[in-house]
Structure 1
Amino acid sequence: MSGRYDDVILSYYDTILYQADVDLLSGPHWLNDAIISFYLEYLEKEKYSGTNILLISPAVTQCLKASPLAELSIFLDPLQTLEKDFIFMPLNDCEDLRSPGGTHWSLLVYSKPENTFYHLDSSNESNDRQARSLSFKLSGYLKLNKSYYFKSLDSLQQDNMYDCGIYMLCNIENLAEYVLRNKRIEGAKLIKRSNVVTKRFFISELINSLAQR
């Protein structure tokens, strides 16, 4: 890849994208934290501002995995987490909890109206253990007294080793639009494969457009 990490392409609120980040969108590459954080921040600012949806960044999700229950409030209180009905978390399989990374992305969502953690994984529940562990920890912060449900939702399955991040972002947007209309997650339909196919190009064009403002 030709991109470098001293070539800033876009500064968008709390996210800085370099050429090396943007290059990940143009080929068969795994999406990193920077691209995912950017798109979640875009959704938060441009589409879901003022709603009861909370989109948590990959970096904060990793901190939640690494921190004891007593410290979760450090990360979640500033986000007004307890006031939100739907909490979306990009989850990866990184075992080194001191740093971001990993090889697979999936989506964990908490629905307050349904008192349920939902996990959507585009690779046969590869992240099931991480999803259940984080759900259990978050149930303590949310004061659910361990009385909650955990459910694996059907997800469109990827047919390669690198598009998990794209599937995860498509699942986020699909569910977010659904809960805004229906106030629940149960009953949401699968994403369309055509949306997955075009998502890399859409995000790349979005970055170009914002960079030209």
Structure 2
Amino acid sequence: MAKAYVVLSFHETLLHQSDVELLTGPHWLNDTIISFYFEYLEKVKFSDSNDILFVSPEVTQCIKMVSSEEIKIFLEPLNIETKKFVFFALNDNSSPDTAGGSHWSLLVYSKVENCFFHLDSSSGSNHNVAWDFASHLMTYLSRADLINFVDKECVQQSNGYDCGIHVICNTERLAEFARSHREINSCDMMMRINPSAKRKEILTIIQNLASSR
């Protein structure tokens, strides 16, 4: 029963004990943890950056499943037309009805560079998923011109469960770079990632937010 209780309500995200426990060991991160951290980046860390958008995994999954004409239903309320950098946490789940999947990767749309950048910590695993999603988005984001697609080199995970942590770390680093440099292509993404340290950091953030409410 203990796993059912709510640890934190943060804007649109409700974190249960079972979600938070995924951060404590060698566990694959679910949609809820990544959604929470994307919201934390938007509402706290990058609250002063009006041209950066972090799209939740749930919204990303919905966009994957709808027709090109329906994409605007999900993106227009997010004011995407005013954003220069848009971050999507991509999952290889192909089911429209269930959460899950087995691998996360990051797709970033840079309006200023007219390019999709894909970062996959298990290189190649999500290439087709990212390519299909970018092609799907292109019909909405660009009425006439083509948008480039680049598989950007990044640090590779050393196990089968840290892909979500890599997405979070890559998102944060690229957003910081975008805020200061106004582009992301030249950002070096081969800097070391410490998944255990990042898990502990996220746990601390959750605990601090929970204790302040």
Q: TM-score, normalised by structure 2?
A: 0.95
Separation in 2 of the partners of 1:133 and 1:194?
28
The structure-2 alpha-carbon separation of the partners of 1:146 and 1:65, relative to structure 1 and needing over 3 Å to count, comes to: farther
Separation in 2 of the partners of 1:3 and 1:38?
21
The structure-2 alpha-carbon separation of the partners of 1:194 and 1:185, relative to structure 1 and needing over 3 Å to count, comes to: closer
The structure-2 alpha-carbon separation of the partners of 1:137 and 1:44, relative to structure 1 and needing over 3 Å to count, comes to: same
Q: Paired residue for 1:20? A: 18
Structure 1 position 97, deviation (Å): 2.5
Q: Paired residue for 2:168? A: 169
Structure 1 position 144, deviation (Å): 4.4
Separation in 2 of the partners of 1:191 and 1:9?
34
The structure-2 alpha-carbon separation of the partners of 1:134 and 1:35, relative to structure 1 and needing over 3 Å to count, comes to: same
Separation in 1 of the partners of 2:134 and 2:2?
37
The structure-2 alpha-carbon separation of the partners of 1:137 and 1:35, relative to structure 1 and needing over 3 Å to count, comes to: same
Structure 1 position 192, deviation (Å): 3.4
Q: Paired residue for 1:104? A: 103
1:33-72 to 2 correspondences below 5 Å: 33-51=31-49, 52-72=51-71
Which of 17, 26, 29 matches 2:27? 29
How many pairs are equivalent?
Answer: 211
Question: Contact (CA 8 Å) 1:113, 1:184: kept in 2 or not?
Answer: yes
Question: Contact (CA 8 Å) 1:118, 1:151: kept in 2 or not?
Answer: yes
Separation in 1 of the partners of 2:143 and 2:30?
32
Q: Paired residue for 1:154? A: 153
3-state SS of paired residue (2:53):
strand
- Larger mean CA deviation between 136-145 and 50-59 belongs to 136-145
Question: Contact (CA 8 Å) 2:60, 2:88: kept in 1 or not?
Answer: yes
Separation in 2 of the partners of 1:33 and 1:62?
10
Structure 1 position 193, deviation (Å): 2.7
Q: Paired residue for 1:139? A: 138
Separation in 2 of the partners of 1:146 and 1:119?
19
Q: TM-score, normalised by structure 1?
A: 0.95
Separation in 1 of the partners of 2:91 and 2:147?
22
Q: Please provide the CA RMSD for this pair.
A: 1.3
Question: Contact (CA 8 Å) 1:94, 1:100: kept in 2 or not?
Answer: yes
Percent sequence identity is 47
- Unaligned runs of 5+ residues in structure 1 are none
- Unaligned runs of 5+ residues in structure 2 are none
Structure 1 position 194, deviation (Å): 4.5
Separation in 2 of the partners of 1:200 and 1:85?
29
